Amino acid sequence: SRFETCWPALMKDSHGVIIIFNPELPSHLKEIEMWYSCFVQQQPLLDSQCLLVAHHKPGRSEDTENLSLAYPLNKLKLIHSNLEEDPEDVRMEFIKYFRSIITIINESREREEMSIIS
């Protein structure tokens, strides 16, 4: 993509990656593998620092809720967002995700401080 030159700047010092995609588009399912590879594996970030969001457009009733992703994407936390039906659910999942990122940051900071002291 034409923005690839910006990626290193976007990735620098990032603590988490949220990938939002349309589960109804087969091309998106291929693209999220590339995003995962570039933004998570190459950094490297832990899988727990990545959140996948399958965003469902209003009025679509296609059965993409039971989406099964191939390895390695199937190891990631996947949430379904449908802002018409369940905005509160999505909000709670985001809060859980951000809390887990803060925990990871704090733990790594403590490890750094201990290694400086010792």
Per-residue pLDDT of the chain (118 residues; tens, 9 = 90+): 567 788 888 888 889 999 999 998 888 888 999 999 999 998 889 999 999 999 988 776 555 567 888 899 999 999 999 877 778 889 999 999 999 999 999 999 999 999 998 7
Please report the domains of the chain, with CATH numbers, ordered by start residue.
4-117 (3.40.50)
Prediction pTM value: 0.82
Cα separation of 54 and 78, whole Å? 7
pLDDT at 53: 94
pLDDT at 82: 83
Q: DSSP string spanning 79-100?
A: EEE-TTT-HHHHHHHHHHHHHH
pLDDT at 60: 63
Cα separation of 26 and 77, whole Å? 20
Cα 105–44–96 angle (5° rounding)? 40
Cα separation of 75 and 69, whole Å? 9
Strands, sheet with 50-55, edge to edge from the N-terminal-most edge strand? 17-21, 50-55, 77-81
Q: Residue 41 has what DSSP assignment? A: I
Residues 6+ apart with CB under 8 A from 112: none
